Homo-oligomer: A and B are copies of this chain.
């Protein structure tokens, strides 16, 4: 744990099959004007909408709604939500859905009392809020993004073709509470479940594959990966396995709530590559990450061979005896590939709709970060995308 850092994460988590019971106590702490935020309406089919609305009504709240929040929430949708929240004089925002709905609620929360344009302030200039921040609560229906316990928000500007994430420093942007009932995630189609699992795994990799010091955070990262490998295999075999789905949900939260990045550098280049693919194919986020991961990791492995060797041994139980570090490292990536194929993840960008003709544009759209084992140049990005075809 080198360097100086702070850690603060006040989000209260209610976990388990009875987690929604925690909503009553939380509603008692907030004002009367509540905006309920959700996505495409799957919560109406599942009955969760009625349950939550019943609790809001019994708590005497005045409820307005923002519905139809899309998987990649747009700036226009954000403007719409700000107007609804302002007109309702919102005291509290309740997000019911996945990471997108939660991300969106946080963006509304920092914008309602902000005089400036939220895109310019938060997603172009990356400033911190200097206005009142509305409190957000979250009832999570899918595991993956970790948005339920962090201060991140991703908004897409369809005019400029930019999808921009901002991780706010102010812990008041984090949800005040999150309701985590693993049963809510069980109605998800298999494709979405495994895409979410890979999103979780890659969040951990992005924070793990950087730095050369001995750091407790890396040990915790390995633990989360080991747990996720076991529970993802069980869930892949039987999506109704509650124990597996609960471990996946808990791992997702801790994979991206700032803990495993403490005291160390991080990478995040797989997300940059994957988001470029997403921008041109509209493919599911977790699948874009899966499709570019192995070409990227095989490319940078020689620059961080000690860490990739450690990954092979500590995460994939590769027997290192009598082998070169590089051979062990490659065996680890091979084991990871095997697991990815088992789950049925996208193994190349072609199956997501990308073509050889797109590659220059994908490379243009890839933002280069500098925390990984090798700072990529444009030629390397092109060659990684080619290897990912």
Contacts and interface: CB of A to CB of B under 8 A. Distances in A.
Given A215-B247, A216-B247, A13 B4 contact: no
A16 interface: yes
A33 interface: no
Interface stretch (A17-25, A280-288, A294-302, A348-356): A17-25
Interface in A1-54: 1-19, 22
Interface in A194-219: 213-216, 219
A220 interface: yes
A250 B6 contact: no
Contact of A4 (B19, B244, B262): B19
Interface in A234-287: 234, 242-244, 246-247, 249-251, 254, 262-263
A258 to B, nearest CB: 11
B8 A13 contact: yes
A4 B15 contact: yes
Contacts of A246: 1-2, 263
Contacts of A8: 10-13
A70 interface: no
Nearest to A2: B243
A215 B262 CA distance: 23
Contacts of A169: none
Given A6-B14, A214-B231, A220-B223, A262 B243 contact: no
The 10 closest A-B pairs by CB, nearest first: A4-B16, A223-B223, A10-B10, A219-B223, A8-B12, A219-B227, A1-B246, A7-B13, A216-B227, A1-B250
